Amino acid sequence: MGYHQDSKLTKEARHIAATSDAAHAAISASVSLILSCDRVFIKKVEAIYEHLQVNTTVGLVVVDDELIVVTAS
């Protein structure tokens, strides 16, 4: 299927990671904020939450030298 599709789902470890991402996105739909440093995961969650009109704030965490920067959508 299309949007930021998971790669190599034929590998068991990648399948487990994709299932874990889906579980985290589902659980986080009931809280006010989800943070991750995984850009692809954040893009997927933003698209899903927008489509489903979920009000959870999605934040990308980036380490820049010694600073931790959070960018929320």
Beta strand extents in the chain (DSSP E only): 33-36, 57-64, 67-72
* pLDDT higher than 60, residue 69: yes
pLDDT tens column, 38-59: 998 999 999 999 999 999 999 9
Instruction: Establish if 18 belongs to a structural domain.
Output: yes
Does residue 6 sit within a domain?
no
- Is the model's pTM score more than 0.75? yes
Residue 40 forms part of a structural domain: yes
Provide the domain limits for residue 40. Answer: 12-72
**Mean predicted confidence (pLDDT) in 50-72:** 94
Contact 47, 72 (CB under 8 A): no
pLDDT value at 66 more than 80? yes
The count of other CB atoms within 10 Å of the CB of residue 40 is 13
Residue 24 lies in a domain: yes
- Residue 56 counted as domain residue: yes
Is position 34 within any domain?
A: yes
pLDDT of residue 19: 85
Q: Is residue 5 part of a domain?
A: no
Structurally, the chain folds into a number of domains equal to 1
